[in-house]
Amino acid sequence: MASMKRLHIFTLIITALLSASHGIAQQSTDLIPEGAISVVSLNNVYLLQKISLDELVRYDFMEELQQELFDGSTSGKTLKESGIDFDQRINIFQGWNQEYTIAGFSFGIDDQYTLFETFDDYEPIESSYPDVQIFASYFNRIAIKGNAAVLFRVNPDIQVVRDITDSIWFASGNDYPWYEMLIEESGYEKHSFWNDLHSEEPIDPFDTPEHSDFPIAEEDPTQKTYYELLDSIQTSLHGIWLDEMVRELFGEQRNLVRSSPQFASQLNNPSEGIFYFDNTRNIDMQQSMGSMGYLEPSFYQKLRSLYDDNMILGDLTIQDQSVNLELEVRYNEKLGSIYTELTDAKFNTRVLKYIHKDNNAYLTCNLNSEKAYQQAFEVIVPMFSGSEDDFGLLALSWEILDEFVNKKALFSTAPGSAFVTYGGIQQVKTRKIVFELDEETYRYTEKEEEAEENMPVFALGVTTDRSDLAEKVMKRLIGGPSGLIEHEDYWEVPNAIFEAAPLYFLSKNGLFIVTNDQNLVTENADGYGKNALSKKSAKRAMKSSAVYSYINTGATADNLPKGLFSDQENEVIDVMRGKPGTMEITSSETLETSTNFNITYRYEGDDAQATAYVLDLINSLYVITK
Amino acid sequence: MRICVCLLWTILLLGATGCIEIIDDLSMNADGSGTFRYTVNLSSSKVKVNSYLSIDSLDGKKVPEKADIIVRIDGIIEELRKQEGITEVTFDGNYTDYLFKLKVDFETVEDLQVAVKNVIKAEYNANKIEELNHNWLSYKGGALVRSVPKMTIYKVSELSSNDIDLLKNGNYLSITRFTSEIRECSNEVASISKNKQAVMLKSDPYSLIRESSLLDITIELADTSDTN
């Protein structure tokens, strides 16, 4: 009996220990929803503790959460002071489907009390799962299990909301009487014309301040207006999809770690952060693809098959004075065969002569368009030829065209290497009109005089085996509407750039170059000689397979005028302004199913700056993949 | 390669700089009629203007196409021509150098003021703009009182901080001419021409935003018979 009792106690202790360990074992990565398409997962404890929440929320990747974080409750606080456990990863995720987007971040909890001092707008709500606490603030939720939490929000696609609203509205026998009224009485149409010129958003007849004056749906005052109905549906959908996400995560234990072995494997890498982007699901979830799948199912399926297993995985590492992002781009063999042929090109060193050693930024690329075309032809045409629809006809047209076109001649015009350079800002000569005042009468007369305006200087060149073809075209254009002028060694279109500055064309040494740098075409038509790229830099460019790029980030950012950026964008650019640093992008050999790209951000300054650089990179990834 | 070209275009957009020059010129005849000329000179900013016009949107806002601007201006000119007491409305739009010149003959300054208000109401559906109840021009007893409509300033103040730099480098010239000599004017920074028949006030659009009364002026003529 005693032994039975001891066994029972032992069993209880083991159970308790297992339960406790299960709670502790709950990791923030387990709370990344299955629907996440893009994830940045950071595990660098040291770096993130230092950043203030005020700085953090300026980044685009935090924009979905700004409602909470900009309410003042986080002012002056750092992440460390917000109850977050830095022994666990912080995972920023976003995902989308044809009905809604999700965004949020999952993290470990060190101190739940402190956490809710920061997220003080959140109130506990009922949870269907005994080991999960749920807190709500408007359309945001925080779900906590063990010592991990996920803060997330769901945004229903407005078109989906409108479709449902319209369906109910019209089914109830309503029309749009207010629309006519709006145009007649408020002059909305005229007003909207001016707004339309200034607004990127399409005009939305519902979205006016007068909507409260809209007629009600029926004579019965308890009936909702269109806008009230739309709001109700949006709110309901929010609730449904928030609940759905909670059910998936905690009821069905569905999360990204379980559904994506690639992501799970990536988490094991010993890096400061990882990046995950599932382009296959991204394509599937795009509304335009959904429409195509509905309208042209056969075409969609074939096209879609090219993008199976399409994914970008990245590792972020911080080394001495540098941040490194290694991206592995994965694709299937079909697409890979095209990429492999595209990058099967020998680097043409002629381009290096035209890159000045002091250029702020330059890029070289090395592509075999002829082989890529041939492979694309061999992969794509069989997918569609023989089918009865319009795409079969298109494939047949392509086959016929392929027979008649002189591909050798066509592709020899630009056979391999190309370069782009950015030389910084230079002053160029333009003309302006000035008014001269007569002091006697204050009458003024108009006069044209020379002016100088700042202009970024660039050059773009491609290698060509048929410079004679380019020269023929240029000669034909002389005296035409473009105003092309022939000089001894080059051609010029006087007001080609914004009707103010000249553009030059140079065909020399097997290269065709377009530039606005007069010095290049007049003084350096054969290249920069000893002022061209150093041997070391040239070697690095040649070593990189398809693409190589170098950017002096500090100098480039300093040259970007604030005037053409929004305040928010300037905040991001300001991080680089005045800080010496460089960025280098290299690519590996293209393999059948993957290519690696490496981005290295080297900075001068203390390690504290590394945080800003890491976040800059994360932000860039977020913006690019958004 | 296409991406590279796009990048280059973006860089070009970013590098352009320039400024704006505005001349507002009111010539009064002895009988109270006159001519109003309004000139906007963006020729020293044409790289910037062209760069703006070459993109679809900027700072989240749609950038109008040149054709939209022409239609819009034509509409304003047509509306101006319909106004009572307004004759000889001409508009010279140079869309290569971005130099725009408007010339309007008026019978009285009140006619000019009413015409401007009507055009604003018609074009902007702006019945509720408080400034429309305010008068910017009056000419009585040999004295002309001028100010710059504040709503112009309100409109400019809606510009983002980025555009403000453009205005700081700009010029705003306000000239008022008469057929007889000027006795005195109220604004200390105003200068009177050597022939004493014109007054000029000089500022920049940015300062005007900050202090709209900079160009307020009352001009008194030596010969008070030169009035309506």
pLDDT in tens, A492-543: 988 788 777 789 999 988 889 999 888 899 999 999 999 999 999 999 998 8
Instruction: Give a yes or no: residue A119 inside a domain.
Output: yes
How far apart are the CA of A513 and the nearest CA of chain B, in angstroms?
A: 13
- For residue A439, the chain B residues in CB contact (below 8 A) are 193-194
Alpha carbons B82 and B6: distance in angstroms, whole number: 45
- State the average pLDDT over residues A456-481: 80
Residue A583 belongs to a domain: yes
Q: What is the percent of chain A with per-residue pLDDT over 70, rounded to a whole number?
A: 73
pLDDT of A564 over the 80 cut:
no
A229 and A87, same structural domain? Answer: no
ipTM of the complex: 0.81
**Bridge-partner residues for A273, per DSSP?**
A42, A316
Q: Minimal Cα distance from B175: which residue of A?
A: A442
A552 and A583 inside one domain: yes
What integer pLDDT is reported at residue A229 of this predicted model? 87
Instruction: Write out residues 411-450 of A within 8 Å (CB-CB) of B.
Output: 418, 420, 422, 425, 430-433, 435, 437, 439-442, 444
Do A575 and A542 sit in the same domain of this protein? Answer: yes
Residues A37 and A116 in one domain: yes
Provide the shortest C-alpha distance from residue B90 to chain A (in Å).
Answer: 18
Residues A61 and A202 placed together within one structural domain of the fold: no
Size of interface A-B (CB pairs under 8 A): 140
Cα(A129)–Cα(A246) distance, rounded to whole angstroms?
A: 9
A561-572 average pLDDT score? 57
Domain boundaries, chain B: 18-221
The beta strand positions in chain B, using DSSP E, are 21-28, 34-41, 57-58, 61-62, 86-94, 99-106, 137-140, 143-146, 171-177, 182-185, 191-192, 198-203, 217-221
User: Among A141-155, A226-240, A289-303, B207-221, which is the least confidently predicted range?
Assistant: A289-303
In a domain, A510, yes or no: no
**What integer pLDDT is reported at residue A609 of this predicted model?**
62
Mean pLDDT is highest, among A244-253, A277-286, A391-400, A470-479, for A244-253
**Residue B103's pLDDT is what?**
93
Q: Count the domains in chain A.
A: 3
In whole angstroms, give the CA distance from residue A325 to residue A331. Answer: 19
Contact between B13 and A559 using a beta-carbon 8 Å cutoff: no
- Predicted local confidence at residue A407, as pLDDT: 72
Binned at pLDDT 50, 70 and 90, residue A167 comes out as confident
User: Does the pLDDT of residue A149 top 90, yes or no?
Assistant: yes
Residue type, A223: Q
A130 with A96, same domain? Answer: yes
pLDDT single digits (tens) B148-166: 766 555 555 555 555 666 6
Confidence band for A4, pLDDT divided at 50, 70 and 90: very low
**Interior/surface letters A158-183, b for 16+ CB within 10 angstroms, e for the rest:** eebbbebbeebbeeeebeeebeeebe
Letter string b/e over residues A383-420, b meaning 16 or more CB atoms within 10 A of that residue's CB: bbeebeeebeeebeebeeeeeeeeeeeebebbbbbbbb
pLDDT number for residue A380: 83
Closest chain A CA to residue B3: A420
Cα separation, B21 vs B18, in Å, equals 10
Does the residue A125 lie in any domain? Answer: yes
**Of A75 and A529, more confident:** A529
Q: Name the percent of chain A lying above pLDDT 90.
A: 23
Report the gap between the CA of A560 and the closest CA in chain B (Å).
Answer: 6
A87 lies in the same domain as A199? no
| A277–B contact, CB cutoff 8 A | no
Higher pLDDT, A55 or A567: A55
pLDDT at B101: 92
pLDDT of residue A12: 38
Q: Specify if A487 maps to a domain.
A: no
| A2 lies in some domain | no
Query: Are residues A402 and A329 located together in one domain of the fold?
Result: yes
Best to test chain B binding among A189, A191, A432 (most B CBs inside 10 Å): A432
Is residue A152 within 8 Å of residue A245, measured between CB atoms? Answer: yes
A435-446 pLDDT, tens digit each: 888 888 989 999
What integer pLDDT is reported at residue B91 of this predicted model? Answer: 92
**Number of Cα atoms under 13 Å in the Cβ half of residue B164:** 13
Arithmetic mean of pLDDT over chain A? 78
pLDDT tops 60 at residue A62: yes
A561/A307: higher pLDDT: A307
pLDDT over threshold 90, residue A198: no
pLDDT at A423: 87
Using one digit for the tens of pLDDT, what is the confidence trace for B81-122? 989 999 989 999 888 888 999 999 999 999 998 898 888 877
Asked if residue A48 has pLDDT above 60, the reply is yes
Same domain, A251 and A368: no
For residue A587, what are the domain limits? 317-343+361-418+532-625
Instruction: Specify the amino acid at residue A181.
Output: M
- Residue A309 in any domain: the answer is no
- Residue in this structure with the two tokens 């002059």, named with its chain if needed: A187
Same domain, A558 and A607: yes
For the ranges A13-27, A267-281, A317-331, A514-528, the lowest mean pLDDT is seen at A13-27
pLDDT of residue A260: 94
* Same structural domain, A92 and A130: yes
Regarding whether A221 and A185 lie in a shared domain, the answer is: yes
Tell me whether residues B193 and A441 touch, CB distance under 8 A. yes
A595 within domain boundaries: yes
Mean pLDDT across the stretch A253-257? 94
| Residue numbers in A near B177 (CB within 8 A) | 441-442
Q: What is the pLDDT of residue A201?
A: 44
HEC profile of A205-216: CCCCHHHHHCCC
Tell me the shortest Cα–Cα distance from A425 to chain B, in angstroms.
7
Q: Mean pLDDT throughout A202-227?
A: 53
Strand order in the sheet with B182-185: B137-140, B143-146, B217-221, B182-185
On whether the CB atoms of residues A484 and A493 are closer than 8 A, the answer is: yes
pLDDT surpassing 70 at residue A6:
no
> A21 or B168: which carries more pLDDT confidence?
B168
pLDDT of residue A470 exceeding 50, the answer is yes
Please say if the pLDDT value at position A605 is more than 70: no
pLDDT (0 to 100) of residue A177: 45
Of A127-136, A457-466, B140-149, where does the model show the most confidence? A127-136
Give the per-residue pLDDT at A557.
75
Q: Dump pLDDT digits (tens) for A390-401.
A: 778 888 888 888
Chunked into runs of 10 residues, chain B (228 residues) has average pLDDT values of 37 49 90 91 82 68 79 88 90 89 92 87 66 79 80 57 67 90 88 91 79 82 63
